[in-house]
Amino acid sequence: MSTVKLSIAQSTELCRLLADPSRLRLLLLLEAHALSAAELTEVTGLAQSRVSTHLARLKRAGLVQDQRTGGAALYTLAAVENSAAELWALMRQELDDRQARLDRERADEVVRARKSGQTWAESVAGRMELHYSPGRTWEATAHALIGLLELGDVLDVASGDGVLAELIAERARSVTCMDISAKVLAAARKRLGTVSNVGFCQGDMRAPPFADRRFDQVFLMHALSYAQEPKTVIAKAAALLRPGGSLIIATLGAHKHEAAMQAYDHVNLGVTPEALAKWLKACGLEVELCRVTSREPRPPYFEVVTALARAGV
């Protein structure tokens, strides 16, 4: 969270900035596309003078930036942390609007139709992960990579409703979904009911109900955000590994956004790769990977830390 404190006048001004449907439409559009003022005008149907005024105001507030690459200036969201960006990030999390979805589809068309002789791929090169093209989803990529896996007995700690188990079951000897919530586990059972090598167990990651050295792979996917003492959870998970087994972690990087944390019931503000690596080594594991692997493209730019650590043979 920004350490800069605002006066009442500044706070009201900030609220006014975001209390405008046109400015919100522009912000949502610039999340995925770098667009010129003319293109924004075409997509939104607003008058060009209004679009320009809104853009200037959003730029002054540090929410958007422009870049000139020969032709017209292209606007994008600015990658800065300030009070305006934080307020926008909070609001953005709750926004799901039909008009915004239509704007986005229209913007996709406008970008495709740019008269610069570029192919679709060329027009989004460098930002391709932000753009849709038919069937090119992260899920499809995950399925392609999963073919490379050969897993043994897997424990998915804080499994949620079994998304990971569904992806990996075919490539594992067994998968055990463990979650503290009976309701969430019931949803996992419903998802995976007919898959014979998947089991379910209601349990607490602070005291997993399994014998030591019971699993070949233990996953902690987006689980540590729910641990008051991540270090203890990691030690418990490490004890469950057979010799040569792997602990795989994906978790939110350290951040300052308490409101977001409360909205998702997190009990900590993320972890740094340095702290995570230290905890893994303290359990006697060999750390093969522990770093920030992704950064979300929109405010507040949450980061994900991924770790892979192995038990000695």
Ligand X SMILES: C[S@@+](CC[C@H](N)C(=O)[O-])C[C@H]1O[C@@H](n2cnc3c(N)ncnc32)[C@H](O)[C@@H]1O
Total residues binding ligand X (CB under 6 A): 15
Smallest separation (angstroms) from ligand X to the CB of 142? 12
Residue 56 CB contacts under 8 Å (≥ 6 apart), including other chains: none
The binder of ligand X chosen from 104, 106, 189, 222 (CB under 6 A)? 222
Interaction pattern, residues 28-67, with ligand X; x per rule: CB under 6 A = ----------------------------------------
Binding region for ligand X (CB under 6 A) out of 7-15, 85-93, 123-131, 175-183: 175-183
Contact pick of 1, 73, 146, 184 for ligand X (by CB under 6 A): 184
Q: Does 191 bind ligand X (CB under 6 A)?
A: no
CA 217, 222, 223, 224 dihedral sign is: positive
Q: Nearest distance from residue 175's CB to ligand X, in Å?
A: 12
252 interacts with ligand X by CB under 6 A: no
Using CB under 6 A as the binding rule, whether residue 159 contacts ligand X is answered as yes
Separation between Cα atoms, residue 268 and residue 264, nearest integer Å:
11
Q: What is the dihedral of CA 108, 111, 114, 116, to 10 degrees?
A: -140
Q: What is the 3-state secondary structure (H, E, C) of 169-214?
A: HHHEEEEEEEECCHHHHHHHHHHHCCCCCEEEEECCCCCCCCCCCC
Structure tokens at 262: 């409360």
CB of 27 to ligand X, least distance (A): 27
- 158 is an interface residue for ligand X by CB under 6 A: yes
Provide, rounded to whole angstroms, the least separation between the CB of residue 159 and ligand X: 5
Residues 6+ apart with CB under 8 A from 36: 71, 72, 73, 74, 75
Distant-in-sequence, close-in-space partners of 45: CB < 8 Å, separation ≥ 6: none
Among 60, 127, 143, 206, binds ligand X (CB under 6 A): 206
Both structure tokens of 137: 């989803």
What is the C-alpha to C-alpha distance for residues 219 and 240, in angstroms, rounded to an integer?
11
205 binds ligand X (CB under 6 A): yes
18 touching ligand X, by CB under 6 A: no
How far is it, in rounded angstroms, from Cα 215 to Cα 237? 10
Which amino acid type is present at position 213? R
CB of 138 to ligand X, least distance (A): 13
Does residue 186 touch ligand X according to CB under 6 A?
A: no
Minimum distance of ligand X from residue 246's CB (angstroms): 16
What's the one-letter identity of residue 80?
A: V
Biggest CA-to-CA distance, the chain? 68
Q: Which stretch binds ligand X (CB under 6 A): 80-88, 90-98, 153-161, 286-294?
A: 153-161
- Select from 46, 73, 146, 163 the one that contacts ligand X (CB under 6 A): 163
Does residue number 179 form part of the binding site for ligand X (CB under 6 A)?
Answer: yes
Find the helix or strand (DSSP H, E) in which 215 lies: strand 215-221
Shortest Cβ 177–ligand X spacing (Å): 9
The verdict on 311 binding ligand X (CB under 6 A) reads: no
> What token pair was written down for 135?
């069937």
Q: Which residue minimizes CB distance to ligand X?
A: 160
- Neighbouring CB atoms inside 10 A of 303's CB total 19
Residues in the chain: 313
* Binding residue (CB under 6 A) for ligand X from 24, 29, 168, 223: 223
Return residues touching ligand X (CB under 6 A). Answer: 158-160, 163, 179-181, 184, 204-206, 221-223, 226
